[in-house]
Amino acid sequence: MDWEALTKLAWEARERAYAPYSGFQVGAVLVGAGGEIFTGCNVENLSYGLTQCAERVAMGSAVAAGVREIVAAVVLADTEKPISPCGACRQVLAEFGDPELLLVGKNGAEHFRLSELLPRASTGILDRD
């Protein structure tokens, strides 16, 4: 996985974020099982509950393109420490696999599997492993 290139794409996506209320811009990149790449940025709304996270914007693009398995993701923001997907984004991503995640901040990055951040994502819901 070319994490450097994916991180660059995520920074570029972050620059396109629509965040007039919080000023907090997030970028995300997802990689499909076939190598397809999808970017996303957060899209805020005055009715804050309607705000879309960068990860879910990218996932929507992937699904619209026919992708049903995600193998890697980069999520980043201009923060000191790496950020992490919210619970809703973790659950949405889990629907499409157990991708390797690179979480990035200004001063470093951390690697995780999604299942480390959201263990047992489907146990008791869909009874999937």
Distance of CA 29 to the CA centre of its chain: 6
Residue among 88, 29, 20, 90 at smallest CA distance from 48: 20
Query: For residue 73, what are its two tokens?
Result: 């993701």
Residue 52 is classified by DSSP as B
55 annotated active-site: yes
Catalytic residue among 15, 44, 55, 95: 55
Residue carrying structure tokens 């007039």: 20
- Tell me if 70 sits within 8 A of 32, measured CB to CB: yes
Rounded distance between C-alpha atoms, residue 101 and residue 30, angstroms: 9
* Residues with active-site annotation: 55
